[in-house]
A and B are shown apart, each in its own frame.
Chain A
Amino acid sequence: MSAAMAAVSPAADTLLNVERLTMRFGGLIAINDVSFVAKRRQITGIIGPNGAGKTTLFNCITGFYKPTVGRLTLHGDAGHTYLLEQMDGFRIGQKARVARTFQNIRLFTGMSVLENLMVAQHNKLMLASGYTVLGLFGWPSFRRAERDARDKAVHWLEKTRLIGVADQPAGSLPYGDQRRLEIARAMCTDPIMLCLDEPAAGLNPRESADLNSLLLSIRDEFGIGLLLIEHDMSVVMGISDHIVVLDYGRKIAEGTPLDIRNDPAVIRAYLGEDGQE
């Protein structure tokens, strides 16, 4: 345990520092004493068999669950640090600027694609509209902010090749488009960290390759850190800079994709050589 602690020393480009995170549901320990560091301009992959606690980890980071024990430190821009475990769910998106996508896509299905991206810029627009009061009277600064928001949405629509369906209800898009839209929506919040929960699930190989290049370009162009849960090994191994492996709520390995590929503990966890249930 103390070795794990020592390994976690915040460096200059540390984005998220997870320290001794534990999450209990009644008697079930979903995450058990997990520590790792995610860095800026890096894609940190999180893998592990089903039920390893990956999504629970995300829910702790994005404030949907309050961790039982542990500390989650986010090193924001300009030296601000946020203790995520102490923040309300929505403030993590608003203040700490951590964005996420969901394993089972959660779009605003009845609203148009463009509107989904406008909703993502809510806090900025809300401020520009003078908490609606100025906006009601068509204040110029609000109109400008609205136009900027639209431009940003258009930028992401082009990047995700959804520009042609911008006015259609989000729920009417095919599955792969919905996945990309969810990423575009998360990026419209101007995050410094993006958490992706199985973004390649249900995609065909071509779409999955597309996704890889999208994620890489997000990393390189915006300099943000990505946290990626994925089962599709071609995605994880192909684009991750660093991989954390969870099994039964514990971290069993950590390292570069090459290290992980050859790690006996990981192979055991996936293939179950020693006959664990």
Chain B
Amino acid sequence: MTAVPSTSAPLVIQAAKEAAWTILVVGLLSFLMVGYQTEVLQGQQMSFVNRFGDVIWAMVLIPIGRFLLVLARGGLLLPPAVLGGIATLYLFGAAVLGLAGSPLYGQLPLPYDQPMVNAIFGVGAVFILAAAIKGQRDRRRGAQTLEMREAAEARQARIARNMSSILGPILIVLAIVIPWTPWGDRAVVDSLVLVMTYVMLGWGLNIVVGLAGLLDLGYVAFYAVGAYTYAKLSIALGFTFWESLPIAGALAALFGVLLGFPVLRLRGDYLAIVTLGFGEIIRIVLINWQSFTGGPNGLGNITRIDFFGLPFERNPAPGTESFHTFFGLEFASTHRVFFLYYVIIVLALITNFVTIRLRKMPIGRAWEALREDETACRALGINPTNTKLTAFAIGAMFAGFAGSFFAARQGFVSPESFTFIESAVILAIVVLGGMGSQVGVALAALLLIGLPEVLRDLSLYRMLVFGGVMVLIMLWRPKGLLAYREPTLLLHGRRKRNKAGVQS
């Protein structure tokens, strides 16, 4: 601690420089965009409202934050930690009061009217606090050597592995029992159905991106194919959900092969743009092929899911049974929601199980090998095109199942549900989860889909927070939440391997 004053003098100067630069940048960023809020008047005239107060506050608060952050990263603990801590408590506390509608909020001296904006600045304060603690820890450890960094990485991988093996079963059990707990009301289970759909999509895309290393930005197209397949089969031919499920999967896989065949030769990012284009083409066709897809309004009146032939209806048609009449229960709207929930859990777990099995098959190893080095694969006599196509088709098939489920749940489908942003979110789930990690993908889906559901009340800020969280998680864990890779087969077993690791 005694060394601090001597090193902190240049640190303070450096931090001051950074802060000055930040004042300039924040001023440039916010002067027009925040300072002049344009408003459309009647008659298509425009005027603006000036909000220079907001600009000034940003130009004061953000540079202070930057100043403290530089200090914290430089290893200075107390000032950043204390100020950051106070700011965190104050801004978040105030935001909570404001969101709860407390009259006290209006009396607190706060930079912004909107509680959420104050809360966002509060997040910045948390950042400073975290950086101060981390900076202190790094300082105590001294300069990092390469060995230390490798050891730290190995430790993190081990933690990720242990977390996964513990967390996986816990999550499955939790998922199964939650409808029967006091928290499992209709709205929560409904949200969880959505989360589980994305877990399934994430696991499906994980085959393509995580295992085979193919960057697919149009995954939602296969989801759409599945959804519209069930919608059409149900409306035109009267198929039930269970009858059309395999057809939807097969059709989506077929689309995967049709798209994949010409383009899988392309490398990396060229493939990405082509898959993105494919996703957009499907969406445009869905919008414009009025006679077949119902255009922008989509298709409605899709047969809802039934309990293996028993519909969930209050008043079944005369002479037919409904779920509640058959089992002699009181009619409840939760029956269908709960049933949907368990259906999607089973579908998702099948996806998971098949993926885990596939990884240990020759094809799964070939996918991973292709991801690592396509040239070496060719030298070993592995057909790259076929191998990629299988990954593409199997990934698409699971998206087709999920899409079919989506249509059965909603009762209607429209192109709006299949925009690029959906593909991006599914991809983000895979990458944030830690590519290849099944538990990580589930966690990321819970976070990315569950969070906006929780924040539903903050309508305007919901997606802002969503985008911000995506960036922050990536910055926090660039390799994903649970990044580790378990070999598909072990020669010596785990215990011996760890020992061998120590010896070498």
Whether the complex brings A and B within 8 Å at their CB atoms is answered yes
Contact: A136 with B492, CB < 8 Å?
no
Nearest chain A residue, comparing its CB with the CB of B491: A166
Given contacts A107-B376, A132-B358, A136-B354, contact A189 B381 (CB under 8 A): yes
**Does chain A have a CB within 8 A of B39?**
no
The yes or no answer to B377 lying at the interface (CB within 8 A) is yes
The reply to whether A167 and B372 form a contact with Cβ atoms under 8 Å apart is: no
> In the complex, what's the smallest C-beta–C-beta distance from B110 to chain A, in angstroms?
50
Cβ contact within 8 Å between A90 and B382: yes
B-side contacts of A126, CB under 8 Å: 362-363, 366
B368–A132 contact, CB under 8 A? Answer: no
Residues of A within 8 A of B373 (CB): 106-109
Could you tell me if A129 and B362 are in contact, using CB atoms closer than 8 angstroms? yes
Contacts of B357 in A (CB 8 A): 136
Whether B380 contacts A119 by the Cβ 8 Å rule is yes
Q: Which of B384, B489, B492 has the most CB of A within 10 A?
A: B489
Type the 1/0 row for B350-389, where 1 means its CB is closer than 8 Å to any CB of A.
0000100110011101101100110111111111100000
Given A111-B368, A167-B500, A168-B501, answer yes or no on A119-B489 (Cβ-Cβ < 8 Å).
no
How many residues on B have C-beta within 8 angstroms of the other chain's C-beta atoms? 34
Is B456 among interface residues, defined by CB-CB distance under 8 A? no
B361 and A136 contacting across the interface, CB-CB below 8 Å: yes
Complex CA gap A157/B488 in Å reads: 17
Q: Which residues of the other chain, B, contact A92 by a CB distance below 8 angstroms?
A: 381
Find out whether the CB atom of B382 lies under 8 angstroms from the CB atom of A150.
no
Taking the complex as formed, is A135 at the interface, i.e. its CB lies under 8 A from any CB of chain B?
yes
B497 contacts the other chain (Cβ, under 8 Å)?
yes
CB of B363 within 8 A of CB of A91, answer no
Residues of chain B within 8 A (CB-CB) of A166 are: 491-492
Q: In the docked arrangement, what's the CA distance between A120 and B357, Å?
A: 19
Nearest chain B CB to A189 CB, angstrom units: 6
Closest to B504 in A: A165
Give the complex CA separation of A219 and B400 in angstroms.
Answer: 52
Q: Mark B312-343, 1 if CB is under 8 A from A, else 0.
A: 00000000000000000000000000000000
Select which of A106, A121, A157, A163 is within 8 A of B376 by beta carbon: A106
A112 within 8 A of B: yes
Interface membership of chain B positions 379-406, coded 1 if the CB is closer than 8 angstroms to chain A and 0 otherwise: 1111110000010000000000000000
Q: How far is the CA of A125 from the CA of B360 in the complex (A)?
A: 11
Does A102 reach chain B (CB closer than 8 Å)? yes
Interface residues of A in 13-38 (CB under 8 A from B): none
A120 surroundings in chain B (CB, below 8 A): 380
B487 in contact (CB, < 8 A): yes
**How would residues 87 to 114 of chain A score, 1 for a CB under 8 Å from any chain B CB and 0 otherwise?**
0011111110101101000111111101
Q: Please report the total number of A residues contacting B with Cβ < 8 Å.
A: 48
A115 in contact with B487 given A106-B376, A136-B357, A167-B497 (CB within 8 Å) = yes
Q: Mark B461-493, 1 if CB is under 8 A from A, else 0.
A: 000000000000000000000000101111110
Docked Cα-Cα span, A32 to B492, in Å, equals 51
Q: Using Cβ atoms and an 8 Å threshold, which residues of chain B touch A94?
A: 381-383
Contact, CB under 8 Å: B362 / A135: yes
A89 and B378: CB pair below 8 A? yes
Q: Give the complex CA separation of A92 and B383 in angstroms.
A: 11
Most buried by A among B354, B378, B380: B380
Residues of B within 8 A of A109 (CB): 372-373
Q: Which of A89, A100, A114 contacts B487 (CB 8 A)?
A: A114
Given A90-B377, A90-B382, A167-B500, do A111 and B369 touch, yes or no (CB 8 Å)?
Answer: yes
Inter-chain CA distance A261–B161, complex, in Å, is 57
Is the Cβ of A110 less than 8 Å from the Cβ of B362? no
In the complex, which residues of chain B have a beta carbon less than 8 angstroms from the beta carbon of A91?
Answer: 381, 383
**A118 at interface by CB-CB < 8 Å:** yes
Q: Is the CB of B378 within 8 A of A119?
A: no
User: Residues of B contacting A95 with CB < 8 Å?
Assistant: 381
Closest to B365 in A: A119
List chain B residues, Cβ under 8 A from A186. Answer: 379-380
Contacts of B361 in A (CB 8 A): 129, 132, 135-136
Task: Identify the closest chain B residue to A135 (Cβ).
Answer: B361
**Contact at A110–B381, with CB atoms within 8 Å?**
no
Asked whether A144 is an interface residue with its Cβ less than 8 Å from the other chain, the reply is: no
Q: List 6 A-B contacts (CB under 8 A).
A: A106-B373, A110-B372, A118-B488, A120-B380, A129-B362, A165-B500
Task: Given contacts A112-B490, A132-B358, list 15 more A-B pairs with CB under 8 A.
Answer: A93-B379, A93-B381, A93-B382, A94-B383, A99-B379, A106-B379, A110-B368, A111-B487, A114-B491, A119-B366, A122-B369, A126-B366, A129-B362, A136-B358, A150-B489
Q: What 9 A-B pairs come out closest when comparing CB atoms?
A: A93-B381, A94-B381, A125-B362, A112-B487, A166-B491, A108-B372, A106-B376, A167-B497, A90-B378
